Amino acid sequence: MGLRRLRSIGSTPIPTRQLVVEKGPKRAHAVGRSDTIAKMTSRPQGKHRAVPPILICVLTAFAATGGFCGVANAIGHVPQVTYRLSGSAPVADYISYQNDTGQIMQAHVPLPWQTHFTGFGGEVFVISAQSPGSITCTIVVDGKVVSQATSNGEPARTVCSN
């Protein structure tokens, strides 16, 4: 067994494996602990075989993209969404809503107010607002009112979601 020494004071020798190549038919074997070498080079016993790595990659990619359901949703309907706000005050203190570009927050918004965007399907639509007096929020999807709420107070806070 070959030994390698570390270059520091007080180091101990570390055993290493040696590769021996014999003449004749091309064979090589390692010299060292035979039980470790056997484990590294043997195949699993029994009926089960190792799953090829490419199969694991394909299944992972399939699951990550949503499988067949993801493909069906991608081809499906894309909703037209409208958010509306109205109230007794001329200006809302603040509004917050989720649209196709992300979360939007605005302050001192003139009322009545509305915005339109195209959804991508399967998403949740949310709008919230605060104003003195009364305030009403409305979510319209494809021309149908799907959520509406009114609040009164000082300040009045309302939330609509679908």
Q: What is the pLDDT of residues 85-142, one digit of tens each?
A: 999 999 999 999 998 888 999 999 999 999 999 998 788 999 999 999 999 999 999 9
The CA distance from 66 to 74, in Å, is 10
Taking only the tens place, the pLDDT of each residue in 46-55 is 555 555 666 5
| Residue 75 pLDDT > 60 | no
The verdict on residue 57 lying in a domain is: no
The verdict on residue 157 lying in a domain is: yes
For residues 16-40, average pLDDT = 54
Residues of the chain with pLDDT > 90: what percent?
Answer: 46
Contact 133, 93 (CB under 8 A): no
The verdict on residue 72 lying in a domain is: no
Query: Which structural domain range is residue 133 located in?
Result: 80-161
For residues 82-86, average pLDDT = 97
**The domain spanning residue 115 has which CATH number?**
2.60.40.2880
The verdict on residue 47 lying in a domain is: no
The CA distance from 99 to 126, in Å, is 8
The CA distance from 45 to 150, in Å, is 69
SS3 158: strand
The verdict on residue 123 lying in a domain is: yes
The verdict on residue 96 lying in a domain is: yes
Give me the number of domains the chain comprises: 1
Residues of the chain with pLDDT > 70: what percent?
Answer: 54
The verdict on residue 156 lying in a domain is: yes
> Closest Cα to residue 103, out of 121, 120, 85, 127?
127
Taking only the tens place, the pLDDT of each residue in 28-38 is 555 555 555 55
Taking only the tens place, the pLDDT of each residue in 89-103 is 999 999 999 988 889
The verdict on residue 121 lying in a domain is: yes
